[in-house]
């Protein structure tokens, strides 16, 4: 019997805090998940849920005074959350690639895309300048840039938004990283380009055996791309499981609300569904389950005790409905 593939990335009980004059704000609270080689994990939730912050903590790019205050982050079994800036520079690019939402902020406008790719390759791989240039051309071709041998000497402003995002993906792949953290890589793109970028990420993941953490607010992108999905709310995981189960049979009322908010093109309705209320501020997270003020199924226990992830069929959900007696579930 084959043993299960060990995870490439393990996040264990991650806590991220921001000290302030008015007290310490806990932005991520006891986050745990794992990603196996060749797997795409989607991370979804409203703005302020902690999606991008989780990615920044993994990459080692938390902005001061933000800090990892608890838990562990392991890459290939090696703990990386306690490494200093210089040590993380060797891991970023070589073992962890990053794709950010706005390619204009990821590319230096003063250098050609070729110079930026070649510099990244030379910094992480033992190759000559000529070999680095050829690898850069190959990467541009692999990501769908036409005439890569000519476009390599162009500047970022000479590319369209979709093409710039392809260049950013090529940069993320330049040193053949084991893990790719993609933070809303399709948000600024039109629908047709989104589909191409999604397909590119999937093909890269499967061809290279890389693990991908895909951060997005778009459940449609999650459904098309991911193997599993983690739903975040107020800095905690509300639900996690196989993507088809979470989408078709959501177990947490928050996930139910997210799915109901997606417009159904087959129905004609005057108003869209929405989740009443808003994400709580970090200095005003309610006791018990953080979602209970907005939850249509909350009961007394939800306001007093914070639930851990509980078994909910094929998924796990941080909801007392899955530990309550039958009369409460109705």
Helix 113-124 and helix 129-142: axis angle, to 10°? 120
Tell me, what's the pLDDT at 188? 67
Decide: 239 and 307 in contact? Cβ < 8 Å. Answer: no
Segment (H or E) for 74: strand 67-75
Give the whole-angstrom CA distance, residue 73 versus residue 181. Answer: 14
> Which tens digits make up the pLDDT trace of 96-134?
999 987 778 889 999 999 999 999 999 999 999 999 999
CA angle 32, 38, 40 (to 5 degrees): 50
The three-state secondary structure class of 6 is coil
> Which tens digits make up the pLDDT trace of 130-174?
999 999 999 999 888 999 999 999 999 999 888 898 899 899 988
Beta bridge partners of 15: 29, 70
Helices in the chain by DSSP H: which ranges? Answer: 51-59, 85-91, 103-106, 113-124, 129-142, 148-151, 161-173, 191-208, 219-225, 243-248, 253-260, 300-304, 326-329
SS (H, E, C) 175-224: CCCCEEEEECCCCCCCHHHHHHHHHHHHHHHHHHCCEEEEEECCHHHHHH
* In the chain, where the domains are located: 37-61+83-95+177-329
Tell me, what's the pLDDT at 56? 94
Instruction: Give the residues of the chain that fall short of pLDDT 70.
Output: 1-4, 188, 265-266, 269, 324-330
Tell me, what's the pLDDT at 232? 97
Q: The domain 37-61+83-95+177-329 belongs to what CATH superfamily?
A: P-loop containing nucleotide triphosphate hydrolases (3.40.50.300)
User: pTM value?
Assistant: 0.90
Give the whole-angstrom CA distance, residue 111 versus residue 116. Answer: 7
**Strand 228-233 relative to strand 40-44: parallel, antiparallel, unpaired?**
parallel
Tell me, what's the pLDDT at 262? 80
3-state helix, strand and coil shares in percent for the chain, rounded to the nearest 5: 35, 25, 40
């Amino acid at each position: 019997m084959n043993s299960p593939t060990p995870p490439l990335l393990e996040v264990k009980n991650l806590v991220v805090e921001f000290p302030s004059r008015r007290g310490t704000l806990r932005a991520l609270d006891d986050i745990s998940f794992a990603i196996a080689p060749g797997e795409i994990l989607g991370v979804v939730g409203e703005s302020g849920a902690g999606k991008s912050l989780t990615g920044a903590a993994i990459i080692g790019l938390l902005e001061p005074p933000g800090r990892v205050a608890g838990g562990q982050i392991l890459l290939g079994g090696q703990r990386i959350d306690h490494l200093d800036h210089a040590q993380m520079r060797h891991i970023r690019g070589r073992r962890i690639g990053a794709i950010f939402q706005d390619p204009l902020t990821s590319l230096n406008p003063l250098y050609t895309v070729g110079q930026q790719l070649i510099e990244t390759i030379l910094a992480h791989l033992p190759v000559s300048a000529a070999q680095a240039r050829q690898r850069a051309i190959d990467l541009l071709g692999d990501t769908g840039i036409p005439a890569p041998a000519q476009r390599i000497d162009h500047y970022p402003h000479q590319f369209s938004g979709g093409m710039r995002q392809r260049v950013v993906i090529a940069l993320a792949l330049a040193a053949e990283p084991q893990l790719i953290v993609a933070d809303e890589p399709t948000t600024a793109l039109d629908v047709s380009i989104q589909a191409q970028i999604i397909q590119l990420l999937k093909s890269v993941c499967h061809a290279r055996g890389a693990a991908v953490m895909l951060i997005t607010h778009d459940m449609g992108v999650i459904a098309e791309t991911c193997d599993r999905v983690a739903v975040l709310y107020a800095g905690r995981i509300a639900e996690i499981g196989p993507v088809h189960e979470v989408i078709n049979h959501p177990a947490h009322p928050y996930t139910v609300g997210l799915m109901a908010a997606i417009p159904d093109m087959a129905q004609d309705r005057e108003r869209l569904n929405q989740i009443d209320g808003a994400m709580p501020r970090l200095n005003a997270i309610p006791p018990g389950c953080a979602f209970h003020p907005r939850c249509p199924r909350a009961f007394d226990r939800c306001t007093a005790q914070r639930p851990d992830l509980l078994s909910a069929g094929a998924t796990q959900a941080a909801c007392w409905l899955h530990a309550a007696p039958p009369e409460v579930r109705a």
